[in-house]
Structure 1
Amino acid sequence: MRKPGNDRLGETQRRHWQQTYTAHPDMYGTAPSAPATHAAELFRSAGARTVLELGAGQGRDSLFFARSGFDVAATDFSPAGLEQLTAHAAESGLTGRVTTLLHDVRNPLPLPDDSIDAAFAHMLLCMALSTEEIHSAVAEVRRVLRPGGTFVYTVRHTGDAHYSTGIPRGDDIYEHGGFAVHFFGRALVEDLATGWDLREIHPFDEGDLPRRLWCVTQTVPWNT
């Protein structure tokens, strides 16, 4: 059961992202993120055809996956972000390859078991989610992935310059400029890989601060 404080923070973050996407179309640009280009190579080598993106936002990575030949289910809790994604897909002739789903990652995914080949989440899991909610979200990804399916996700970690600064929200969550971030320790990454095959934990930097992140790759065992 979610705690009332977590629900209030989550709703505040939903409104903040909605306002941000509305005020700043293409705030991250249209080029794919480096983790998305890395993930696409992994997905292709694994023979994936379908990709689920959690926290797709305005869609730069979902559209890249679609241009790369994957059928994409793009989820986000911001209608504004998904509306912009849908418009860009239409402009690019990718409507047939991209499906959008309005979805809060704290809730179960509206997808059947074993229905997706690969999943991607760039900084979604390090949003304003409790450790319990993060575990539930990853369990949902595992449920919808087929055996052998690949999950690539990125998170800001406790080596980041913003860790333990700003407004503390508990559970290693700190707020800066209206954005709440859950910073990951190595133990949390390893806990989330329980029941998976953990393939890689790759550190990288992004942005001008820079943000310090891990790119994590884990797969569903074939013998499940």
Structure 2
Amino acid sequence: MKHLDERAAELADAQREQWRATYTAHPGLYGRRPSEPAVYAADLFTSRGASDVLELGAGHGRDTLHFAGRGLAVHATDFCAEALAQLRQAADRAGLGERVRVSVHDAREPLPLNDASVDAVYAHMLLCMALSTEQIHALAGEVRRVLRPGGSFVYTVRHVGDAHHGTGISHGDDIYEHGGFAVHFFTRALVEALAEGWVGLRIHAFEEGELPRRLWRVTQRLP
């Protein structure tokens, strides 16, 4: 019988291949318009005087370009090189290339930034990918490490009120797979645990896309 860590690694590798194939077959998968959370986050970050933002799970960059268009310098990361190539091309075409830097990065690994080096961090549905609860906590710790004092963290996750929660292929730890894509559905307790030591926690419920997906937009900042 395979060890839990081995099964988790195999799932993560399968998810990387699933996203690679998806972005290759469907360039610009989510269109050019920014997501609602990105519009909110850009307003928040600029109102708090941020000049740079780290975006986790940037995909092909619809939100990245919105941040750059608002004058923010963006370091966009994703584990899919194909998506980041599309992002780089889109940024150059939009004349925003100088404000955008991209890095291939697996969220299970430490962030490729120095301590206290960015003003804000943003992640739209990255934390609810095929990550274990332990890995999610480790990633939140890395976000805390790279943020400057007073820095803001905005992230979105699908939650246990979503229609897909509890259905499809179960991988344990509230991770369920539909159509080849695995999602870790968040509980309120997990959100609150990730906010320990932070201030200004705000949880906003919203819906997006087909089904529709039910999500929380979470806002918190360092003291």
Q: Shorter-chain TM-score category?
A: over 0.9
Decide which of 141, 144, 148 is 2:143's aligned counterpart. 141
Please list every run of at least 4 consecutive aligned residues from structure 1 whose deviation after the TM superposition is greater than 3 angstroms.
Answer: none
2:192 to 190, 193, 197: 190
CA distance in 1, matches of 2:16, 2:93: 27
What is aligned with 1:162?
Answer: 164
1:86 counterpart (85, 88, 110):
88
Structure 1: distance between partners of 2:127 and 2:185: 9
Secondary structure of 2:191's counterpart equals helix
- Give SS of 2:49's match: coil
Whether 2:20 is the aligned partner of 1:55: answer no
For 1:138, the aligned partner's letter is: A
The structural deviation recorded for 1:5 is 1.2
SS of 1:111's partner is coil
Find the counterpart in structure 2 of residue 100 from structure 1. Answer: 102
In 2, Cα distance between equivalents of 1:34 and 1:133: 26
- Identity, % of aligned pairs? 63
Residues 18 and 180, structure 2, Cα contact 8 Å, conserved in 1 = yes
Residues 123 and 105 of structure 1: CA distance in aligned 2, closer, same or farther (over 3 Å): same
2:154 corresponds to: 152
Distance 1:86 1:3 in 2: 34
Deviation, 1:3, is: 1.3
Counterpart of 1:149 in 2: which secondary structure? strand
Q: How far off is 1:19 after superposition?
A: 0.5
- Aligned letter for 1:168? S
| Counterpart AA for 1:103 | H
Cα deviation 1:151-176 (Å, max 9, x = unaligned): 00000000000000000010000000
Name the SS for the 2:182 alignment partner.
strand
Unaligned runs of 5+ in 2: none
SS in 2 for 1:154: strand
Unpaired stretches in structure 1, ≥5 consecutive residues: none
1:195 is displaced (CA, Å) by: 1.2
1:208 Cα deviation after fit: 2.4
What CA distance in whole angstroms lies between the structure 2 residues aligned with 1:83 and 1:72?
15
Does the CA-based 8 Å contact 2:158-2:185 persist in structure 1? yes
Are the equivalent residues in 1 in contact too, given 2:116–2:146 (CA < 8 A)? Answer: yes
Give, in whole Å, the separation in 1 of the partners of 2:76 and 2:52: 11
Q: 2:222 is matched with which residue?
A: 220
Q: CA deviation at 1:29?
A: 0.4
RMSD between superposed Cα atoms in Å: 0.8
Q: State the TM-score, normalized to the length of structure 2.
A: 0.97
TM-score, normalised relative to structure 1? 0.97
Q: State how many pairs are aligned.
A: 220
Please show how residues 6-155 of structure 1 align to structure 2 within 5 Å: 6-155=8-157
Give the letter for the 1:161 counterpart: A
What is the Cα deviation at residue 6 of structure 1?
1.0
**Residue in structure 2 matched with residue 5 of structure 1 by the alignment:** 7
Equivalent in the alignment of 2:211: 209
* SS in structure 2 of the partner of residue 3 of structure 1: helix
What is the CA deviation profile of residues 38-78 of structure 1, one whole-angstrom value per residue up to 9, with x for unaligned ones?
00111011100001000000000011100110000000000
CA distance in 2, matches of 1:43, 1:134: 23
Q: How far off its partner does 1:4 sit?
A: 1.3
> CA contact under 8 A between 2:195 and 2:201: conserved in structure 1?
no
